[in-house]
Amino acid sequence: MTKLIAGPMATLSHQGLRKIYEDFGGCDEYYTEMINASSYLTHGQFEGFYTLNEIAGDKIVWQLTGKEASPMAKAARELCELGGIGIDLNMGCSAPEIVKTGAGIAWMIKPMEETKALISEVRNAIDSFNSDLTAEGKHKKQRLSVKLRLGDEDFTDEGFFKFCDMLYENGVEQLVLHPRTRKEKLSRPPRYQYVEDLAKHFENKIPVILNGNVKDLYTFENALKAAPSSAGVMLARISAQKPWIFRELSKSLDSSSASQISQTSASQFPKASVSGMWKKTAADDGKESIQIDRLKVGLEYIENLRLYQPKEFHETRMQRFFAYYCDNFSFGHYIKSKMLNCKTLDDAENTFKSYFDEMPGDRFISI
């Protein structure tokens, strides 16, 4: 079974986008955008927006970031109470402002004992939650996972595998490997061979998920060819550009005898779009096909920001989404720069609608 997972993206992996993924049929796990443990514990006015879970709450993985073990363990314990699949620790973020504070990939670079202490403390917090559940006769145990890169520029294979062994020995139950070093840009090809080697190293003891540069069926199949032992694929940027990507991949692979794909198989897809973003059409070969209304998808995202995000976040979250989403269109640069100049959601809505008055042929596609 190959899992399909929506990757964590700051400003994008929130309930509004998750609602759109779900309308198209969804995927197996939804990582949230990174939640800063210390800020979360302050219970400030915006923190609750990071943890909305009315939609697909049982498939959420809460991703934590932080520079110190204790607040991360405390926040992990609190997030467990919300349900979902479990807690992920961000050890992959290489944004200088995050690394500088000792968070993200800094956990792969500091002395291993320090990172081991973090894992143990978070593991204990999750275990305490899980044992309370057992005492109450409930069974939805929370999982501990880590999303990581290869390490700093001078990483060695030996050091990398030793680090992953340490994670496993201290109770990490799933690894997502984005196989680039700290400084390697997203434009550089990821080194899938490390995903394969790591998955083989653990011999199915824990799932190892591949992440990086998967953006269509072709790159998906190539990634799986390069890392056939991986337990799944995480998609990040492309899921903002094409929130229907999980359906597209599941559908194609469902009919292929070679791959058993995802619990969200085509046969379980919703029969109709709740929001009117897509409708079923008959494909030439008799297989299921859907027609997607790309105007409605954009409007739905804007509406979901109104519903699920505080006003203070509207502008940045609208702009980040459309920076990816506009790449779908014939005059992508033109509409992108207009959307990035919009200051309010009403403005964004009108601007986006007017693009389709000019370019009606861009509105519908079939998959």
Total of chain residues touching ligand FMN, rule CB under 6 A: 21
**Among residues 4, 6, 34, 144, the one that binds ligand FMN under rule CB under 6 A:** 34
**Two tokens, residue 167:** 């994670």
7 belongs to the binding site for ligand FMN (CB under 6 A): yes
Q: Which of 2, 36, 51, 211 binds ligand FMN (CB under 6 A)?
A: 211
Of 27 and 293, the one with the shorter C-beta distance to ligand FMN is 27
Helix (H, G, I), strand (E, B) or coil at 31: strand
Please list every residue from 296 through 325 that binds ligand FMN, using CB under 6 A.
none
Quick note: the x/- pattern for ligand FMN over 135-174, rule CB under 6 A, is ------------x---------------------------
> For ligand FMN, which is the closer residue by CB, 123 or 178?
178
- 233-272 exposure pattern, b = at least 16 Cβ within 10 A, e = fewer: bbbbbbbbbbbbbbbbbbbbbbeeeebebbebebeebeee
Taking CB atoms within 8 Å and a gap of at least 24, the contacts of 108-111 are: 108/148, 108/149, 108/151, 108/152, 108/155, 108/163, 109/151, 109/152, 109/182
Measured from the CB atom, the residue of 93 and 302 that comes closer to ligand FMN is 93
Cβ distance to ligand FMN smaller for residue 35 or 73 = 35
Q: Is residue 14 a contact residue for ligand FMN (CB under 6 A)?
A: no
Let me know how long the chain is: 367
Distance in angstroms (rounded) separating the CA atoms of residues 348 and 352: 6
178 binds ligand FMN (CB under 6 A): yes
The answer to whether residue 236 forms part of the interface with ligand FMN (CB under 6 A) is yes
Contacts of 141 (CB under 8 A, 6+ apart): 130, 133
Give kind and range of the element (H or E) at residue 322.
helix 311-325
Q: Which two tokens stand for residue 154?
A: 């001078």
Q: What is residue 273's DSSP assignment? A: -
State which residue, 200 or 215, has the beta carbon closest to ligand FMN.
Answer: 215
Q: Which of 23, 33, 184, 300 binds ligand FMN (CB under 6 A)?
A: 33
Among residues 4, 5, 6, 9, the one that binds ligand FMN under rule CB under 6 A: 9
Contacts of 239 (CB under 8 A, 6+ apart): 6, 7, 17, 21, 245, 246
The binder of ligand FMN chosen from 146, 235, 302, 318 (CB under 6 A)? 235
* Contact residues: ligand FMN, CB under 6 A: 7-10, 33-34, 63, 90, 92-93, 147, 178, 186, 211-214, 235-238
